[in-house]
Amino acid sequence: MSDEELLDKMKKYIGRKLDQDSDPNAMKAIISEYMRMKLTLEGSPKEFLSSNEDTRKTSEKMANGWKTPKQIQRAYGLADKTWAAWRKRCEASPCRDAIVRVSTRSTFIIEKRWQDFLRQCADEFAEKHLDPHLRDLKVLKEN
């Protein structure tokens, strides 16, 4: 089967799936693969190479286990605004060393310390939202 025939079959498959009530994430993956193949065949190397470069950058791992902000956002499912808010909160916390700023454009995250920060946030949230009656019992237990 030639590449053109494969693309044609994928196009028809996508059309049938769009008529059905399909999983949006699966459809997104199929469509992106279709577009990648189509760009490769049509010879638009600039777009293909730039998307390929982004994929390569995110799949590389640093030897020390640090991550970039985009990798953290993807791994933890954070939107840009949520990431910005949590980053500021982390920088103001005792876990501020989780975020390493090399320059204004280069930031890295030490994931182990980031997870410590998230555990601290979870503890604060649980304490804040604990039933007031149970909170009083907790204070009595500690004394």
Per-residue pLDDT tens digits of the chain, which is 143 residues long? 677 777 777 777 777 766 666 666 666 777 777 677 777 666 544 444 444 444 445 445 666 778 999 999 999 999 999 999 999 999 999 999 999 998 888 899 999 999 999 999 998 888 888 776 666 665 556 65
For residue 99, the cross-strand partners are 109
> Residue 30 corresponds to which tokens in the numbers above?
């199929």
Q: Could you tell me if 69 and 109 are in contact, meaning their C-beta atoms sit under 8 angstroms apart? A: yes
pTM above 0.75, yes or no: no
Residue-level pLDDT at 58: 46
**90: number of Cβ within 10 Å:** 22
Got the DSSP string for 8-70? HHHHHHHHHHHHS---HHHHHHHHHHHHHHHHHHHT-HHHHHHHHHHHHHHH---TT-EE-HH
